[in-house]
Amino acid sequence: GQTVTQNITVNDPAKILTGIAYKSGSISIEQNGTFGQMTLNDLKATATYEGGETKEIAVTADMISVDPSEPGERKGKIVYAEGNTAMTCDITVTVTERTSDYTAENMYVIPQDGYYAGENGANLKLNDSGISIWFTTNAGFGKETAFQGLTGGTDGWYDGDAFKAVYGEIKSHVLLNGKTFDELNAEGAGLARLCMGWFGEGQYCLRVHTDGTFRYTDLKTVTLLRGFQMYNNAAKAIGAKTPCDYTFEVVDKPGTADKMPVRKTESISIVSAPAKTVYTKGDKFESSGMTVKAVYTDGGEKTFSVKDRMISYDFSEAGTKDVTVTYNGATAVQTVTVNEPVATITGIAVKDNAKLFLKQYSLTSELTPDAKIVVSYSDDTTEEIALTIDMISRYTNETTGDFKATVTYKGNTCEIGYTVAAYSGKSYFKGVNYAPIYGTEGTGYATLNGIDDITEGLKALWDVDKAQSLVIGKTNGDLVTINGVTLTQLVKEGKMARMLMYGKNFGFHSDDAAFMASLKNGAEICLLPGFAWVTNASDAWGKGTPETYVPIENAVITEPTYFCFKNGNVSKVIESIALNGTPKETYHQGDVIDVNGLTLSVKYKGFAAENVALTADMCDYDFTTAGEKTVSVTYDGKTLTFNVTVQDVYLTGITIVSEPTKKTYDFAIDNELDLTGFAVKAIYNNGTEEEINIDSLTIRGFDSHAFGVQTITAVYGEFNATFDVEVKNVSDGKYLGIDYVSAATSFEGSQHNSLVISFTLNGMHEDLNSFWGADKLDYVADYMLINGKKVSDLIKEGKVTRLAVWTSQLVIHLDTNSLVPATWVDKRTDKNDPNDKGQHYVEGVSEVVKTVTFLPGFQWYTVNGVLAGDLWGNDNAYQYATPIPGAVLKETITIRNEDGYGWTRPLKTDGNNNIASDALTIVSLPNKTVYAPGERLELAGLQIKAKYEDGGEEIITVGASEIDGFKKDVTGKQTLSYTYFGQTVTFDITVEEPQPEKKKGCRGAIVSSAGVFALGVAALAFVFGKKENEE
């Protein structure tokens, strides 16, 4: 009687889904598209539950199942599930033409439909290391690259713990014999593992291994459920999910012991019949053009071309026959007609060698009388048929002889012989009338010689090129060529419009301006044999009616007739030109063509050759450079060529035509060579000569600072010519002298250790100035020697610092111990201290200046217009210096540096270093040698010559004070003496009382000389006395 209570919950019964139906909206998908490529337009469905309750459902893409393999309206399904209950309903899906590219994201797999020989997948097998289900893709066979992330081998098996989710997903979407893996394994199938393997293009699969009794021979159907997807061995999804179910049944693979899956087909129907539906008994069926549509049990559809393997038929009997198309067990029938065979023509032949007879330039034709052909049939019977002209083709009367034509009868052909007889008539025409063009219509008009003889009426006709000629099968346009192209072709190309016949004249129209220009400017026109003049019942101007035109008998061209329109005339056409004569073979650069003795043989088409004189203006050539050259000869549009050799024109020499007028030059004053009157000509290997521009010559050899005859060389290229001029001391009153007799200081040591040499300007006066850098001037440092070495070299060696000018003095700066004026030069503070840096003579280092030599041509300079402060102390002051005309040394002078006071010019010595006996001589005695007591000494006429060691000579002007021994009050003979640089000469005079007048007699004088050498001391001084050279 005791009780307890327990609370429980009692719910209303769960609603049970009993159906689903389409309500509204639409759906579309691209061909071979995915769920993601579906477009849903407010798609709704109605769900129905037990008891009649309904609910509106918003349909999503993953609820759609459709095979989008073909464009058009396709039947699909809406799949809706609640709990374990799923319901479907039909829906129309619009599949549109595909516009998207295939990518890895929008590709999915489809099982390969059969493994037929000669087709895609022919090498695949169901029994391949297990049960292998091979795939293609929605993009087509061989497009499986998107799935190459799959791998085979143990790493690709999806049965491990890491792949449980993937393994379960795959198993839930694959049915074998309508059952899942787990259902089959519950029955002992022993399906152990599976993998997805990619083995290259067209070869990837889902492979199942079994450890139990289930084998590939037990497999009847394979279904891939909507949403099936590939995965790689990292359990990552590859590609897209399938948009529908695919159901395949397993059948035997033809010709093998293996099996293959084919898509389970509900029915097939013929979409288009074959192109051929009527056959003859025994023929082979031709499937070309035939297509069928398959409807699959999984709801998919496919239209495809019929393959021969699908066809079965029997055409062994005539009648209405069925051709059966079998595809995956479903069939469709195409009805065709099979007829009994009928007798057909197997050949034809001309009977009894009948022939066709033609005449050249005549449109008449004849056959052998009663000509026939024999027709043979496939039932071995024959028949004779009358042969008519209209059965014959491929013949012409253009040339004479025997030929073959073609007979055609009901599509069968044979040959027939035909003969063309020679033209036996006489043509009216005797060639083109080469005369001025008549009229301005089109090209203007030409005419034919002989046309006046035609008696038929001549009309004004357009389009005569399209009229029949007197050559069978050709129009007049076929027998007119312009530059080798038929008029018919040119009209077709639009370059020509038509040919005209205007009474007795003919011409042409062209709407192409450029082509018309060429036609009127020499284009070659030819009327070929068979071209005929035509007539008509009336004029046809402005609009031709060539189909009514009639060729006039014997108004025919019988020989190729050439002409052209050019320069207002109807002219002959040149066929070729040839050169008569042997052209000159060798020329030189710049030559003109030599046409002497050469003519052209001009061959006109249809005429004999004519000779024409060759002129230079017909020749095109370039002789400006050497080498093998081509000469082009052009005459009236025709060209021939010949080769010549052009040699270099080169200089072979030069020659002087006239020497310069000026032949004598004043030493160091006439500094420029005067080429007035000078003419030189060049001589070339081609025999030509030409005067050379003087500016093109290089003139060498002239030195106004060198005495004597000079050979001047004019250089041009590799050749030269010479002429002589002479440099003389014309202005002998102008010269530069050196003071080597006064006792002026020769050394200055207040600023620089310097040698100082005084110069004299004789016969001229110039304002003198002082400046540094004289060594950089022409004719200075190179024209000085110290101890026999050029001063310019001593400056480079650093022994001489510079040359400076102090008005009329040349200052030689010596700033090192290398070259010192004399042994006594010593500027040390303590002369006994060897470390004192002052300048002094150093044994083994110093060289003492012994002599300074000046060469002929040494030039003196001055500076005007520049402040003195800018000149002295400035090594660039030489830039302002200008040479003084005539201030040039005209002899070699060597002077010796003494002890600091003055210079001497050493007299000539003998071989023993003694003063030579002729170093100082009396050339002439004074005019007066006899004196009365008390008379002053008169030296007029006395000439004393000094000869120097440097080779120079001079007549010394002697003053009375320089004569020793004269005593004017002492009567008797007196010996007078003159001493010069230690050398003495003597001469005698007499002082006597005046004698009474008597006849004069002869008197002689004795001259003696004694040689004494002594070192003279000269003081630094300016001496402007003239020393006359003995010249």
Contacts of 505 (CB under 8 A, 6+ apart): 438, 439, 445, 446, 447
User: What is the mean predicted confidence (pLDDT) over 236-244?
Assistant: 89
How much is the average pLDDT of 519-536?
Answer: 95
- Read off the tokens for 106: 């929008």
Q: How far is CA 248 from CA 69, 178, 203, 264, 331, in A?
A: 16, 11, 18, 5, 17
Other CB atoms within 10 Å distance of the CB of residue 890: 23
- Contacting residues for 160 by C-beta, under 8 A, at least 6 apart: none
> What element of type H or E holds 491?
helix 487-493
Q: What is the DSSP letter of 256?
A: S
Cβ-based neighbour number of residue 396 at 10 Å: 16
Q: What are phi and psi of 27, to 5 degrees?
A: -145, 140
- Check pLDDT > 90 for residue 514: yes
Q: Between these two residues, 898 and 973, which has the higher pLDDT value? A: 973
| Per-residue pLDDT at 250 exceeds 60 | yes
Strand partners, 963: 978
CA nearest 1024: which of 776, 763, 686, 836? 763
pLDDT of 234 > 80? The answer is no
Exposure b/e, 134-144, CB count within 10 A at least 16 = b = bbbbbbeeeeb
Report which DSSP code applies to 14: P
List all residues 6 or more positions away from 558 whose beta carbon is below 8 Å from its beta carbon: 361, 423, 427, 429, 529
Contact residues for 239 (Cβ-Cβ < 8 A; gap 6+)? 104, 105, 107, 108, 109, 146, 147, 229, 230
Of 141, 135, 112, 105, the C-alpha closest to 33 is 105
Cα 88 → chain centroid: 76
Percent of the chain with pLDDT over 70: 91
Note the pLDDT of residue 884. Answer: 93
- Tell me how far apart the 2 most distant CA atoms of the chain are, in Å: 227
Contact 143, 137 (CB under 8 A): yes
Q: Number of C-alpha atoms within 13 angstroms, CB side, residue 474?
A: 23
Res 177 pLDDT > 50 = yes
Q: Of the candidates 737, 739, 1025, which has an alpha carbon nearest to the alpha carbon of residue 903?
A: 739
Rounded distance between C-alpha atoms, residue 157 and residue 246, angstroms: 23
**536-540 own/partner pairs: CB under 8 Å, 24+ apart:** 536/459, 536/461, 538/459, 539/459, 539/460, 539/461, 540/459, 540/460, 540/461, 540/462, 540/463
Q: Is the pLDDT of residue 619 over 80?
A: yes
Query: With helix as H, strand as E and coil as C, how does 823-834 read?
Result: CCCECCCCCCCC
The strand pair at 819-820 and 847-848 is best described as: parallel
Q: What rounded mean pLDDT belongs to the chain? A: 88
Predicted pLDDT of residue 12: 76
With beta carbons less than 8 A apart as the criterion, state whether 904 and 895 touch. yes
Q: What is the pLDDT of residue 129?
A: 76
For residue 541, the tally of other CB atoms under 10 A from its CB is: 12
Q: Is the pLDDT of residue 274 over 90?
A: yes
Model pLDDT, residue 465: 96
The three-state secondary structure class of 427 is: coil
**SS3 of 909-930:** ECCCCCECCCCEEEEECCCCCE
- In angstroms, the CA 579 to CA 584 distance is 12
* Per-residue pLDDT tens over the stretch 336-369: 999 988 888 999 999 999 999 999 999 999 999 9
- 15-49 burial string, b = 16+ CB within 10 Å, else e? eebeebebbeeebebbbbbbbebbebeebebebeb
Q: Which of 102, 106, 110 is nearest to 135 (CA)?
A: 110
pLDDT at residue number 279 = 95
Contact 738, 895 (CB under 8 A): yes
Q: What residues are paired with 936 via a beta bridge? A: none
Query: What does the block give as tokens for 975?
Result: 């010996």
Phi, psi (rounded to 5 degrees) for 585? -95, -25
167: confidence class by pLDDT, cuts 50, 70, 90: confident
Strand partners, 407: 392, 414
Q: Are 915 and 1012 in contact (CB under 8 A)?
A: yes
Measured distance CA(627)–CA(90) in Å, rounded? 95
Amino acid letter for position 3: T
Percent of the chain past pLDDT 90, that is, above it, reads 69
295 membership: H or E segment, kind and range: strand 291-296
Locate tokens 């004192």: which residue?
836
| pLDDT tens-digit readout, 719-757 | 999 999 999 999 888 888 998 877 666 777 666 678 899
Residue given tokens 């143990």 in the structure block? 154
pLDDT for 1012 equals: 27
Sequence-separated (6 or more) residues with CB below 8 Å from residue 538: 459
Q: What's the rounded mean pLDDT across residues 81-97? A: 93
For tokens 């003239």, name the residue: 1026
DSSP state of 592: -
What pLDDT, on a 0 to 100 scale, did the predictor assign at position 920? 94
Instruction: Determine the average pLDDT of the residues in 153-158.
Output: 50
Question: Which pLDDT value is given to residue 486?
Answer: 97
Residue 150 in this model has a pLDDT that exceeds 50: yes
Element (H, E) at 446: strand 446-447
Residue 22: band (very low, low, confident or very high) from pLDDT cuts 50, 70, 90: very high
CA distance 534 to 500: 11
* Cα gap 200→884, rounded to integer Å: 106
What pLDDT does 148 receive? 63
Q: How many CA atoms lie within 13 A of 450 on its CB side?
A: 12
Residue 840 to residues 552, 816, 847: CA-CA distances in angstroms? 134, 9, 11
Q: Which of 298, 610, 559, 326 is nearest to 449 (CA)?
A: 559
Instruction: Return d(Cα 600, Cα 423) in angstroms, integer.
Output: 37
pLDDT at 835 over 80: no
Nearest by Cα to 222 from 177, 188, 262: 177
State pLDDT tens for residues 110-149.
999 999 998 988 888 998 878 989 988 898 888 777 676 5
Mean pLDDT computed over 236-265:
92
List, in sequence order, the alpha helices (H) in 330-442: none
Q: How far is CA 375 from the centre of its chain?
A: 70
Task: For residue 447, give the amino acid letter.
Answer: T
- By DSSP bridging, strand 355-359 and strand 365-367 are antiparallel
H-helix or E-strand containing 514? Answer: helix 513-519
Q: Are strands 920-924 and 903-904 parallel, antiparallel or unpaired?
A: unpaired
CB atoms < 10 A from the CB of 256, how many?
Answer: 12
Q: For tokens 């059948």, what's the residue?
A: 251
604: left (phi over 0), alpha (psi -120 to 50) or beta: beta
Confidence of residue 1013 (pLDDT cuts 50, 70, 90): very low
User: Distance between terminal CA atoms of the chain?
Assistant: 187
Kindly tell me the sign of the dihedral angle through the C-alpha atoms of 172, 176, 179, 182. negative
* Half-sphere exposure at residue 378, Cβ-oriented, CA atoms within 13 angstroms: 5
Q: Which residue, 642, 614, 627, is CA-closest to 587?
A: 627
Cα–Cα–Cα angle for 436, 441, 446, rounded to 5 degrees = 35
C-alpha triplet 664, 666, 672: angle, nearest 5° = 85
According to the model, what pLDDT value does residue 866 have? 78
Is residue 959 within 8 Å of 976, Cβ to Cβ?
no
Eight-class DSSP state of 742: S
